[in-house]
Amino acid sequence: MPSEVRHILFRPAEVVQAIREYLIKLQQKLPSGLVVEYGPETDGPDGAVRFRMIIAFSDGKPSLTPKTVRQEIVIETNTLAAALILYCRDRHIPLPAGADKVLQRFGEQVGLITTYNARDANKPSPEHIQI
């Protein structure tokens, strides 16, 4: 049986939206504010992909010069993958349920790579095939 490999690339703003929707589904919320910095990161060329966001918001204290607070949030690989899979499902982007799924960084984009039937492709094939 043939193997299938799909690469779905997400722009950083789409990843932020996917994370936000995923956390809402889990009844968790990001701090209310403005995402001022964001992007994927890895420990090395083949390292696990994480997504870092910095959210700026007011400290909530009344004053003539309100203080802006910044909070850094890092979304680890498993949570990031779950958020992107949910994002695809909600937008009817087909993903094979039985496919192996991994994340990879493509510059400033996050790639969700699905591989279906790759294990069958490694089985030895007979030298002669009758057709």
Q: Is residue 118 part of a domain?
A: no
Q: Please compute, for residue 2, the number of CA atoms within 13 A of its CA located in the half-sphere on the CB side.
A: 2
Q: How many DSSP H helices and E strands does the chain contain?
A: 3, 6
Closest CA to 84 of 38, 37, 16: 16
End-to-end CA distance of the chain: 16
Q: Is residue 130 part of a domain?
A: no
Q: Is residue 77 part of a domain?
A: yes
Other CB atoms within 10 Å distance of the CB of residue 113: 16
Residue indicated by tokens 């420990």: 43
**What is the domain extent for residue 35?**
12-94
The pLDDT value recorded for residue 49 is: 97
Total-model pTM: 0.83
How many domains does the chain fold into?
Answer: 1
- The pLDDT tens digits for 91-101 are 999 998 889 99
Closest CA to 69 of 60, 77, 78: 60
Question: Distance between CA 11 and CA 26 in Å, rounded?
Answer: 23
Where does the pLDDT of residue 126 fall: very low under 50, low under 70, confident under 90, or very high at 90 and above? low
As a whole number, mean pLDDT of residues 21-39 equals 92
Q: Quick check: 128 pLDDT over 60?
A: no
Q: Is residue 120 part of a domain?
A: no
Q: Is residue 123 part of a domain?
A: no
